[in-house]
Chains A and B, each alone.
Chain A
Amino acid sequence: MKTNQISFWIAAIALVAMISSCSKKETTNTVKPVIPPSHPISAGNISGFIKGTLLTGSTYTVTADVYVKAGDTLLAQPGAIVVVKNNSQFIIQGVFQSMGSQAAPVSFNSDSNTPGTWGGFACDSAQAVTIQWTKILNTGGPDNTGSARRTLVVSAPIKVDLEDNWIENGQDDGLGLFGGCSITVLRNTIQSGGSTDGEAINIKTGAKGVVAYNVVFSQAGTGTKLETASVVTTAETNVDVYNNTYVSCGWRRGAAEPGRGVSAGVSARGNIYNNIIVNCYHGIEIFQDADVANVKYGNNLFYSTANTFVDATVTPNLIVDLRSGYYPAGAAGVPQSSDLISTAVGNNDPMFTSFDNGFLYVNGAPNSNDFHLKSGSPAIGKGNTSFTLANPSLAGGAAPDADMGAYPTDGKGNKH
């Protein structure tokens, strides 16, 4: 009887399941005309004044500086490939959109594929910049006056949207975001940049926005640096920096100018939460001249795979106590109770999927590590989702996560 009843119920449920699986969700497929790209640019050599569309699957060779005039737009379709020669750069005074996709990223690289061999994107006075799913590699060659060039620089109060990009092997700053621009910097991987100086994400002079779910690996200087200006002449720089993973940053600049995971200085303010900082020279440094009262921070994880780092290239050898550098002495930043701070090797290890435990790599070093969290990582569930964003409208829907770092277990983070 009981068995029969059970059988009946099983059969009934199976029947309902069968019927329901037979139903089909409504699908809609609007038939659109094929819209050709505006001003398609033919594959081959490009230079000088350019506007229009860099086409999917086409390869372009930049032979001299490319200018996009104010009012003009340069758009790259998914899969466009751009090879830059002769230390050239893109000077954008109009609109630049590089619209790669996960399946077909856009690529910008030099012909020699070595760090510092082209100029990057000088968007100082651009009208708008959107870069998605794009690889920008090996920038940082000097400009015509001998000054170093950032991979991307913006110095105007415009919207800058940078999502899911790879910025690798530059010789100077990765992103220079200045002049009151509004920034959305999400899910990018910035790695092995800066020869012996340069920050990964350098934000100054009144820029505001969100830096989240980025991975910064082996930057010469600081992972994310917030500053206003040495002369107070702009609004304060005010940025939300959360759910980023900073690994092995700040070593190539030498002990006299140690780099950090995140720093806030010279009248900058912001929110610094949910970041994982591993094997960086210094962790989070809130300088005394920052707008200290308005720099909020917590729920950050600090870890080192060794207790000390020994630099044997100098005489006498230099021994760096790694754990005292999480919140360096003399700065205004202090450990927070919500932080996970490693006290020994193995303690509060974020448990990356793979990591070679390195500290100092050369500029342009390959990165074969995987910074996704293994299950059981102490970073899981320790994120803060309730702090108030300074710039919620610039978060692009990427809210702070309950897990720390760029790869939360809910998959909402970095997609690389």
Chain B
Amino acid sequence: MRKFYLLISLISCFFYASAQTPSIRGKVYDMATNSTLPGAVVQLDGTGKQTVTDANGNFQFTGIEPGSHTIKIRFIGFDEIEKKVDVSADRTTTINIPLSTKANDLKEVSVFGSVNKESDEASRATEKNSNNLLNVVGAQAMQKSPDINAANVLQRVSGVTIQRNAGGDDAFAIIRGLEPRYNNVLVNGVSIASPDSKTRLVSLSVVPSDLLEKIEVNKTLLPEMEGDAIGGTVNMIFKDAADQRQFSVSSSIGYEQLFIDRKFLDFSKADIHTYSPSEMYGASYIAQPNDFTRSNLDFKSIQPPPSETFTFSYGDRFFNKKLGFIIGDTYQNNYFGSDVEGENGNADPKDPDHRPRANDIYNRSISSREILNNLIAHLDYKINDRNKIVLDNVLLYSRLEEASITADTSITGGNGGRTIPGTGPVSGIDQSSTTNQLIENLKLSGNHILGNHFKFDWYGAFSDAFARTPDQADINTNILITYDPATGTFTKTPEYFDEIDRVWAHNNDQDYDGAGNLTYKTTFGNAVLELKAGGLYRHKTRYNSEDEYILRPVANANGEKAEFTNIYDAQWTVYNPLGAGTFNINNYNLLENITTYYGQFKLSFPRLDIFGGVRSESTTQQVRIRADITNANGVDKDYTDILPSISFKYKLNDITNLRLAYFASIARPAFFELVPNNPPNSNGTVTKGNPDLLHTTANNYDLRYELFPKPDEQFFVGVYYKDLTNPIEYAYEGNSNAAVVYEPINAPSAKVAGAELAYTRFFGNIGISGNYAYNYSDVNALKVDRNNPSVNVYEHRMLVGASVHDLNVSLLYRNKKAGINAQLAYQYLGKTLVGIYPDNGDNYIQQPMSTLAFSADKTIGKHFAVFTKLNNLLNTHTTVVLHNFQNGNEVTKATYLFGIRYNY
């Protein structure tokens, strides 16, 4: 594989052309601020030559014919300009070209080729000229940052935090304190199918940042945008074909401090069966003990090899620049893990206040290997200046191999607890699992300018997400440690073999989308009116399948539970030899059709833009589960939302905007939440669906002041207020047999308000970039009255996922002459509500945390750069507290990464 990449790099060297005279040299700058504009596209008409301005806004054409030439300059957010230049033989002609900000953004209508959209300047320009409230992170910023995937990038965006699971392989965006369920994730502007078995979410950690052109976080919606976002929309835009040949390749290796301090827990993947016995041999197959492998429960400590990443992208334009393409692939092989210790707690009746206290202590050690391979392909064809067709395909493959070992000691509870530290019943759970996941997003789109006033654009998309977890295997064992105070001795019983669970799960989510928009544009005096109408239809099908086998130990000759010595000597019987079949609560099918229409207007005066309109979103859903004769086996839902919006953008001057926006939006429940399942007949905690759950609607209000002192600088200050109806919260539902059952319910309402501040400024070589978000949220949600458990009470609290304070500060150093960039990135995240305790008065609170990361790169020669990315330098723990004890303390450690990059 690598040899192939090397070959490409060699071939591309032949295309390299050398310089001749005469030539044109020039500088492009912003007329309003006099600052130079790096990344502007400069085209030499007639010869078809094209270049991009460098970091100082300079460009040069060499080897051109003497005589009259036309230079065309484009830069995002600025008016396109054409300039005539007379070139005489044997000398260099120098020109300075000022660009002025677009009086009216033509982005929507222009079908001209791409300009550099990856630079910081382009990001700021997009924010400045956008019709809605946006935060943008461009590829160059990501490259310079310590971040290697979309989740890491997003956590540095103003008002965005990341929700992670223990072990850290999942990462979802929380925007403005609103849980991932209230936000949507797009790829190239199209909704993405979810590989999650229960939710609509896509983990952002499976998207390496190397192939992204930019990430946009839309905080307000226009009628033309999909309405299922209350917190905001994350749009991951992958690389576009540039106007000239581009080739880049980079590679890095890294290591985790964790695996310097402890070993990595590995298991064999060789024998894992892809399909469960019932999937292999049919539903009536009686599974035998030997149908279940042992080597994937044989854990070994190893020293892991370094993590590695490899990325290449190649793009070019042919046929008089009409046909452009880019193809890119990024591969990451990461080893990571965490150690968690914590205490679970419940109310103790002896405490007069009935608050929870620790009754169980656990230790968990997780070792994960994640392989990511993303392949992107983009093809565009400009039929002429008025018509363009684009094909994008994004393929995100990930594989997670995870081993976790847990030791759980009861302090009190079921079979008694510990008497003194070091004693008690200890149950051990060792788990191995592998998950393969493939997400694809294929989009064909077109832009057509029809006459002087009309434009039509459309897309058709297919989005597919498939995940398979073959044989997630858990082995449960237990021992009891007792202490005899008389003799002062600890006694440990043998380790007993309790149970083995084997789960095979897979799911598939498929969307077919079709959308079309018609734009009409006209002018009245100095006002421009743009009318736009369109619609989108999405047909989604999803299935989720899970099969589970329980293996129970063979009792020894005396009839007693057998001792566990090792996995190869363990003897078991298959307790449910037919598997869990279709009755598993995670088996369901879902169909969802979404039909939307909208009409919107944009009325632009020289200093004021007014946007408004209305969107209609009709949703029909059909959920089906196994045909159980006494319980519901399906749910049909049908609803339509009318979502109005109005916003104003007042341009105080060329570098300042004041925006005011109102929009209505919705959030649809997670798929599993609608399934009318019955919780299994088990102990512990189970979650059931609630077919009566209503979707959430919200009214959103935003006010933001934006200042762009220089093309790569910004100062934003804004406030927002959101009023949610039927927010979705989890609450205690009741007890099913011995199990505690939770279900999603609608709280009557919730309110979210906050303020955001973002600031980027350079002082010579030193820059500072930062943002701060304050979030207030309040939901009046149902809880059990801890003093009178048969009664439910309402309690005001913040929303799950919400952090009160979120601060990011980065210290930047750039030295263009020396080719050095360096960045020290600090993040402070205030208290975050991460989970609901069923009784009133308490919740799971993640404690404030500070993280520090560092990155640096240095260019070597014209094409090479070396870089380093060092993360979690403070070895920050994630600590969650319930009442007065530590519910969880997850220890992750620093990661070190070094690499080299080649750009042509």
Contact = CB atoms under 8 A, between A and B. Distances in A.
Contact of A257 (B415, B484, B553): B415
Given A233-B784, A314-B563, A285 B738 contact: no
Nearest to A294: B349
- The winner among B556, B790, B838 for most chain A CB atoms within 10 A is B556
B114 interface: no
Interface string A38-62: 0000000000110000000000000
Nearest to A259: B415
A146 B735 contact: no
Contacts of A204: 738
Interface stretch (A7-15, A131-139, A147-155, A162-170): A147-155
A404 interface: no
Contacts of A288: 412, 417
> Which of A178, A311, A330, A360 has its CB near the most chain B CB atoms (within 10 A)?
A330
B427 to A, nearest CB: 8
B819 interface: no
Contacts of A265: 412-414, 416
A234 interface: yes
A292 B556 CA distance: 36
A169 B681 CA distance: 20
A357 B218 CA distance: 76
From A142, A267, A328, name the one whose CB has the most chain B CB atoms within 10 angstroms. A142
B417 A256 contact: no
B440 interface: no
Interface stretch (A183-191, A224-232, A344-352, A373-381): A224-232
The majority secondary structure among interface residues of chain A is loop
Interface string B419-448: 100010110000000000000000000000
B630 interface: yes
B786 interface: yes
Nearest to A364: B559
A146 B563 contact: no
A318 B494 contact: yes
B833 to A, nearest CB: 19
A289 interface: yes
Interface stretch (A76-84, A97-105, A247-255, A297-305): A247-255
A314 B737 contact: no
A331 B416 contact: yes
Nearest to A235: B790
A330 B415 CA distance: 12
B557 interface: yes
A93 interface: yes
Interface string B535-564: 000000000000011101101111111110
B789 A155 contact: no
A152 B584 CA distance: 22
B555 A252 contact: yes
Contacts of A267: 347-349
A289 to B, nearest CB: 4
A149 B581 CA distance: 17
B496 interface: yes
A390 interface: no
A331 B415 CA distance: 11
Nearest to A173: B738
B354 A229 contact: no
Contact of B839 (A155, A231, A257, A315): A231
A145 B740 contact: no
Interface in B765-799: 784, 786, 789-790
A196 B740 CA distance: 24
A341 interface: no
Interface stretch (B234-242, B572-580, B858-866): B572-580
A195 B555 CA distance: 8
Q: Which among A149, A195, A230, A291 has the greatest number of chain B C-beta atoms within 10 A?
A: A230
B303 interface: no
Interface residues of A, number: 69
Given A145-B548, A360-B559, A291 B349 contact: yes
A315 B423 CA distance: 20
Interface string A350-393: 00000000001111010000000000000000000000000000
A195 B551 CA distance: 13
Contacts of B413: 230, 265-266, 287, 289
Contacts of A289: 348, 359, 412-413, 417
B3 interface: no
Contacts of A48: 629
B236 to A, nearest CB: 38
A365 B559 CA distance: 9
Contact of B478 (A69, A256, A331, A361): A256
Contact of B479 (A178, A231, A256, A315): A256
B555 A363 contact: yes
A266 B681 contact: no
B494 A233 contact: no
Contacts of B419: 329-330
A179 interface: yes
A330 B576 contact: no
A306 to B, nearest CB: 15
B229 to A, nearest CB: 34
Contacts of B426: 256
A12 B629 CA distance: 78
A315 B550 CA distance: 27
A271 interface: no
Contacts of A292: 350
A67 B680 CA distance: 18
A146 B549 contact: yes
Contact of A145 (B629, B680, B734): B680
A402 B49 CA distance: 109
A124 interface: yes
Given A145-B681, A331-B416, A232 B478 contact: no
Interface in A184-213: 195-197, 202, 204-205
Contacts of B417: 287-289, 330
Nearest to A154: B737
B480 interface: yes
Contact of B579 (A146, A149, A236, A257): A146
Nearest to A266: B413
A176 interface: yes
A147 B548 CA distance: 10
Given A142-B576, A146-B549, A330-B419, A176 B738 contact: yes
Contacts of A231: 346-347, 732, 740, 784, 838-839
B204 interface: no
A91 B681 contact: no
Interface in B331-389: 346-350, 354, 359
A230 B346 contact: yes
A70 to B, nearest CB: 9
A329 B486 CA distance: 11
Nearest to B681: A147
A254 B496 CA distance: 7
Contacts of A255: 480, 493-494, 496
Contacts of B561: 196-197, 252-254
Contacts of B581: 144
B583 interface: yes
Contacts of B786: 232
Contacts of B682: 147
A291 B416 contact: no
**Which 10 A-B pairs rank lowest in CB-CB distance, beginning with the nearest?**
A362-B559, A144-B583, A330-B419, A289-B412, A254-B561, A142-B576, A196-B561, A255-B493, A146-B576, A314-B494
25 contacts: A93-B630, A144-B581, A145-B681, A146-B579, A204-B738, A205-B738, A228-B349, A231-B784, A231-B838, A232-B784, A236-B349, A256-B426, A256-B478, A257-B415, A257-B496, A258-B415, A265-B412, A265-B413, A287-B412, A289-B348, A315-B494, A329-B484, A330-B417, A362-B555, A365-B559
Given A142-B550, A267-B348, 11 more contacts: A122-B681, A143-B583, A148-B575, A176-B737, A196-B552, A231-B732, A231-B839, A233-B735, A252-B560, A255-B496, A362-B555
